[in-house]
Amino acid sequence: MEDAKYHSALVSRLINTVMSSGKKATAQKIVYGTFDRIVEKNPQSNPLEILQRAVDNAKPRLEVKPRRVGGATYQVPVEANPERQTALALRWLVDFANSKKGAAMQESLASEIMDAYQGQGNAIRKRDEVHKMAQANKAFAHFRW
């Protein structure tokens, strides 16, 4: 495989996020095929840097967690843990790529990563929704513990 060429912790996490039913070899083919598609579109670029920037752009800084206080449930904004930020960004990229029907997974994942790299696309919209929800509920921030 092309493991040595694209070896990084982020690539391993992406492969594990893409993997379903324990089929790691299939997930690796999808991810490495995605990188090949990115290189086809941008020949002079490094797909690992594009993936890193795309994930950084899609990471949510804040999220809301439900807290029960006196019978009422409040959506309390909290800062997301860096590990969780990366996990959410990767999950959103893969889920939105998977929801594009009629296109190969490699092609849709490549387009989703390129969109996030450029600061647009579904994963960025999802991040903005999460931030908007946290902003709208900042009045309940004092329930944080």
CATH number, domain with residue 93: 1.10.455.10
* Cβ-count burial 68-87 (b if 16+ within 10 Å, e if not): eeeeeebebbeebeeeebbe
In a domain, 91, yes or no: yes
In a domain, 118, yes or no: yes
Between CA 142 and CA 89 the distance in angstroms is 27
Between CA 105 and CA 90 the distance in angstroms is 15
pLDDT at 1 over 50: no
In a domain, 105, yes or no: yes
> Average pLDDT of 97-126?
94
In a domain, 45, yes or no: yes
- Domain total of the chain: 1
DSSP state of 7: -
| Among 96, 84, 19, 90, residue whose Cα is nearest residue 58 | 90
Model confidence band, residue 141 (pLDDT cutoffs 50, 70, 90): confident
Between CA 109 and CA 30 the distance in angstroms is 9
In a domain, 2, yes or no: no
How many residues are present in the chain?
145
In a domain, 1, yes or no: no
For residue 2, what pLDDT is reported?
A: 52
- In tens, the pLDDT along 49-103 reads 999 999 999 999 999 999 988 899 999 999 999 999 999 999 999 999 999 988 8
Question: Residue 89 sits in which domain range?
Answer: 9-143
In a domain, 32, yes or no: yes
Q: Tell me the three state secondary structure of residue 70.
A: coil
In a domain, 92, yes or no: yes
For residue 121, what pLDDT is reported?
A: 93
- In tens, the pLDDT along 37-51 reads 999 998 888 999 999
